[in-house]
Every structure is written in structure tokens, then in C-alpha cells.
Structure 1
Amino acid sequence: MFKLYPSLLLFLFHCTTIGFHQTSVRESMSFGEEATVRVCVITEPGIDPEEIHSLFEAWNEELSLYRIKTQSIPLGIMERPGFYGSDIIEYLRNKQMPEFCDRLLYLKGRTWGDIVYEVFTLGLFVGVGVKLEIQGAVETYTNTKGYIKAKYISTLQLLSTSPKSTLIHEGYHLLGCGHQLFMKECYERIRDVKLLLTDPNRDPNFFPNINANGRKILKRPI
């Protein structure tokens, strides 16, 4: 019989959600008028438009809870700026965000090197409970730039997450949410981010944010 170890429970929770939904709490809050977030997308070779459409469709279904929708804007196709996720984050942090973007998202593909790394990290996780592989991340300086792994097929990954659930997870970070057991704080953060749309100091051509330290991001970062 399959035994679910505590480390695996933590792995499943961390990868698939920002926290557990609290429907009654969310429905008691007002999220204002519908608003659109323009998400500029850079993809690795091998990720087709249908896959991107499917990812954003799932993300928009989740964001409909807050009267938010995303608009996907393709920026182009490029080879990965480095093997590790930290390399991608560093590239994004230093990349100028175009004036028609509110968020910047990199869709990571799957290479032979990734497959070898997956086998190694999954073996390490099963053997000693150490998880090295990360499915996505968002920089915490502005919480406006991030990446997700858009392709993977290992059995353990598919049991715990998917490209769609990874995008939803990182999408919450792109709206200023952190990790919590329950979603109340995240709901409040999304509400507060949307309230910034009326801030007189906001760049009117930018969907604002609140970063991991609570700083208001009212103007488009570099």
C-alpha cells in the first residue's frame, strides 16, 4: 500500500496551492470592478500557442473569483537564459518590461538536461525526502516577473501538480500573495492591490502590485 509521508504531504501542498480556499470569507469581500492584467510572455522553443491558451484559460478561471482577467501578449521565443530557475529570475529582473506589459512571464520548456535532472531530483526526494526541483518562481522585489515550468511528464509531478496549477500558484504571487495555510490574507492582498488602481500616484498605464515586503509598486519596474 502507498504510504504518504509527511515530507510528501508538504511537497504536495507547496507545489499545488498558495493556501486552502475559504469560500465564505472570499464571498464576504468586495473586489471592485473587473480589471485586466496584461501579461507579456516569453517562451522557450517547443511550446505552442494552444498550450499557452490552455494555461491562461485555467488561470483566468481562477482569477474570475476576484473579477480579474489576464491578457496574454507574446513577446517572442528564446532559448533559456540558464539551466537553473535562479538564472531565469536573474534574467527577468534585469529585463526591461515593455510599456504595454503589467507582468512578465517566462514559460520554461523541457530539454534532455531537464529530464536527467528530474530523474536525479525525484530519486533524491524518494530516497531521503529532499526536494530540489522547483516548478516556478516569482521575484520578490516587485512580484511582477516570474517563470513556470510549462512542460513536464514525470509521474510524481503529475500526481502533485501540473503546468496549469503551477501557473495559478505563481499567478497568486504575481498579485502580491505569499504562502499561508488559509487564503484570507491572500484575498485581502488582492483586494488591496485592486484598490491601488485608484491611487493618484499610480502610473495609469500599469496594473499595480504590492511586493513581498508590503511595498506598493505603482510604476512599471525596469
Structure 2
Amino acid sequence: MLKPFPYILLLFIFQCTTIGFHEKEIRENISFGKEETIRVCLFTEPDITKEEIKDLFTAWNEELSLYQLKVEPIHLQVLQRPGFWGTDILGYLMSTPLTKDCDRLVYFKGRTWGDMAFEVLTLGIFAGVGIKLEIQGAVEGQSNTRGYIKAKYQSTIQLLFTSPKSTLIHEGYHLLGCGHQLFMKDCYEKIRDVKLLLADPERDPNFFPNLTTSGKKILNRSQVLTYSNND
């Protein structure tokens, strides 16, 4: 009988690096229509470079090409972090309205001395009891239109299991309404359904739509605000 550790390790890797395991044959039998563009408005911290932004979006676009999608970055602002914790960042994003040029909001978190100290602490906890406390990114669950990633890190334990590129791809699936699943079939269907909303007569033609986790349509920015305020 196998010890439980390999199963825990597999679950940890799965949760940190992917939204689910790809099913190529199923994906290739789903029609995702023509190529469409999602405008992603971006907040970054001072230590995030233009080259890093370019590399991250290149990786994201490579993944989205599977679905005839691409993301266009619109760099709004370089700013200091609104708080240390991820919840502080999500709170800031939830209070920031989507402007007419934004379909999604993403925050690229950098790496401060405080982050480095926290990395050392979490590495010690992981080595001692096998629990990893550090979160690399998240998307709010009300409208799935805002999220952040840790875009810069160097610790061995982080790089062993994930990377900024894989984190962005992971959170990018959440920004298309996907949840977590073992295999990707449900996510493929969700992306197809989101793209079908582009033809909905009630959609704001200047907004790339989305679906909430519960399947409710988001066809315009006022609905994004409504879901954010209600939750």
C-alpha cells in the first residue's frame, strides 16, 4: 500500500499548476468559433518590467490559442501594493470599476522584502509539516472578472511546483468562468459557452462577456458591478 504522501504531493502539484488535465480529443471536437480578443487592464508593482509583462502575456496567449482567443494587455498603472495579503489586492480590484476599455482586471504582484521574509517562513512550515501557506494568485468568485498573480519570485520551492506563467494561465481560466476540475471537459464547454455569449443580443458590444461560477450571464459592466456589490 502506498503511503499518503505521494497523493498529497500530486494534489498539491495539480492545484498549483493547472486548472485540470487537458483532454485533447474532446477539445478538438468542440467548436470555439473565430478568434476573439479580451482586453485585460493591468496594474503592476514597480519591480515588474515591460519584458516580464510581455513574456507572461505571450505564454497566456499561447494557451488561449487553443480556444481561438487572445488577450490584449492594457497597462493602466504602476502602483504600490494596496496591502500585504491577497485579500487586500482583491479588495482593491473589487472597488475598481471596469472602464469601457477593460474586459478584465489583473494585478501583477512583485517581490518585496516582506515577501521574501514570508517565503522563508512558509518554506520552513512546508519543510516541517508539509503544508504550503503561500498563495500565488486568485480570482474573485462573484463575477470572475478580476484577479491577481504573483508575477515575480525566485524561491526554490515556488519554482519547483509552479511559475508566474503557469499561475497566470491557471488564473486566466478562472477569468473565463472555469472552476477546478480533475479533467478539462467542463472548462472547455464553459469557454465555448462564454464565446457564444458574444452573439447574445443583450450583450454590450464593447464588453467581452463572462459566466459566474453558478452559470449566470455577465453581458455588460453594470452586471459586474451588481454581482460585486451583492456578494
Query: Which residue pairs with 1:112 in the alignment?
Result: 113
Alignment of 1:183-202 (within 5 A): 183-202=184-203
Query: Which residue pairs with 2:217 in the alignment?
Result: 216
Please say if residues 203 and 219 of structure 1, whose CA atoms lie closer than 8 Å, have aligned partners that are also in contact: yes
Q: Distance in 2 between matches of 1:212 and 1:80?
A: 27
Q: Distance in 1 between matches of 2:156 and 2:132?
A: 15
Query: Which residue pairs with 2:52 in the alignment?
Result: 51
Q: Give the counterpart letter for 2:211 in structure 1.
A: I
Q: Give the counterpart letter for 2:155 in structure 1.
A: S
Q: Distance in 2 between matches of 1:8 and 1:105?
A: 29
Kindly state the Cα deviation for residue 215 of structure 1 after the two structures are TM-superposed: 1.1
Cα displacement string for residues 40-93 of structure 1 (whole angstroms, at most 9, x for unaligned residues): 000001101110000000000000000000000000100001000011011101
Q: Give the counterpart letter for 2:22 in structure 1.
A: H
Alignment of 1:81-120 (within 5 A): 81-120=82-121
Normalising by structure 1, we get a TM-score of: 0.97
1:165 aligns with 2:166: yes
Q: Give the counterpart letter for 1:134 in structure 2.
A: I
Q: Distance in 1 between matches of 2:93 and 2:19?
A: 22
Q: Distance in 2 between matches of 1:126 and 1:183?
A: 31
Please say if residues 142 and 209 of structure 1, whose CA atoms lie closer than 8 Å, have aligned partners that are also in contact: yes
Q: Give the counterpart letter for 1:79 in structure 2.
A: Q
SS in structure 2 of the partner of residue 123 of structure 1:
helix
Task: Report the number of matched residues.
Answer: 220
Kindly state the Cα deviation for residue 132 of structure 1 after the two structures are TM-superposed: 1.3
Please say if residues 209 and 218 of structure 1, whose CA atoms lie closer than 8 Å, have aligned partners that are also in contact: yes
Kindly state the Cα deviation for residue 121 of structure 1 after the two structures are TM-superposed: 1.1
Q: Which 5+ residue runs of structure 1 have no aligned equivalent?
A: none
Alignment of 1:7-86 (within 5 A): 7-86=8-87
Q: Distance in 2 between matches of 1:93 and 1:135?
A: 18
Q: Give the counterpart letter for 1:56 in structure 2.
A: F
Q: Distance in 1 between matches of 2:67 and 2:76?
A: 26
- Deviating beyond 3 angstroms after TM superposition, the runs of 4 or more aligned structure 1 residues are none
Q: Calculate percent identity across the aligned residue pairs.
A: 67
Q: Distance in 2 between matches of 1:83 and 1:5?
A: 32
Query: Which residue pairs with 1:174 in the alignment?
Result: 175
Q: CA RMSD in A?
A: 1.2
Please say if residues 7 and 129 of structure 1, whose CA atoms lie closer than 8 Å, have aligned partners that are also in contact: no
Q: Which 5+ residue runs of structure 2 have no aligned equivalent?
A: 226-231
Kindly state the Cα deviation for residue 129 of structure 1 after the two structures are TM-superposed: 2.2
Q: Give the counterpart letter for 2:161 in structure 1.
A: S
Q: Give the counterpart letter for 1:165 in structure 2.
A: S
